[in-house]
Amino acid sequence: MHALIVGAAGMVGRKLTDRIVRGAPLQGKAVDHLSLVDVVAPETPEGYSGTTDCLQADLSEAGTAEKLIAARPDVIFHLAAIVSGEAEKDFEKGYRINLDGSRALFEAIRHANLADGYRPRVVFASSIAVVGAPLPYPIPDEFHATPLTSYGTQKAICELLLSDYSRHGFFDGIGIRLPTICIRPGKPNAAASGFFSNILREPLVGQEAVLPVPETIRHWHTSPRSAVGFMLHAADIDLDEVGPRRNLSMPGVSATVGEQIEALRRVAGQKAVALIRREPDAMITKMCESWAAGFDATRARQLGFTSEDSFDAIIQAHIEDELEGAA
């Protein structure tokens, strides 16, 4: 089994690589060939006995997608993207990376399919940003895609392309609408939603964090651990059960910022909570008020996708995976 991870140097890409290296099978088979690609050179995984190809490349550049498809990987995880805040600030870069790069990959697969019948499984990392206000709570699976950001628009277009290329039989695609991933390890990124992780991650290690929004803001979350689980399950699932609606809103935890903070208090105590400093930001607050507060996600759950059921569990997953089990 040959797996290609595009966006392998990102947080989810690194964790997905680690799970595969530690023996997670795909479609019931061991992965003996792993291709890792990103604009930042991915690290060669330690302890992996299979073949590893690590490539520093930009998917949106001419010829890159064809090069990646030449080895005919069986499963392709397409995680490459620039995040919401950056895509909003740099319009051209957002469309080049998030849309043009995806289209180049899909086209390379299509041409390979026409040449020799090549038909891989494609797992596409989409986003709940494909929906936009006014939003019901919870948001049903049938809710229309009306994104209000460039990032969400780019993801929505890619979802349509994925469905159409799959309908034509060029590949077997499935789109995973990821909730906001919390708690993200490492340093803050350019995502406008980054504070959701910051107000938990930094206090857990004794550092101050800034909260720019009211505690009443409610949003939809899952852990990095669950996000990787979504990707692996999407690679294995029988797509006949999914049907023609190939893009699924993933399960998660709906919580207000105040509920996040109370979960932090229960897990790590008042000392950690005291490290959160309020600095209201009207622009960020306005953005957050238009974001999804929670999804019904019935279809995904019925198809076997699972997530945490409380914010305490999300915090505990971070402690176990990133802090060696102790906060």
User: Which residues 6+ apart lie within 8 Å of 44 measured at CB?
Assistant: 52, 54
Query: Strand 218-222 relative to strand 253-256: parallel, antiparallel, unpaired?
Result: antiparallel
Q: Give the CA dihedral 305, 309, 311, 313, nearest 10 degrees.
A: -90
Separation CA 239–CA 129 (nearest Å): 24
Q: Which residues are catalytic?
A: 151
Tell me: cis bond preceding 109? Omega within 30 of 0 counts. Answer: no
- For residue 254, the cross-strand partners are 220
The Cα-based distances of 319 to 131, 200, 314, 315 in angstroms read: 31, 11, 9, 6
From the list 296, 292, 314, the residue with the least C-alpha distance to 135 is 292
Residue 315: name the closest of 255, 251, 252, 260 by CA: 260
Nearest to 128 by CA among 309, 307, 258: 307
The dihedrals phi and psi of 201, each to the nearest 5 degrees, come to -60, -50
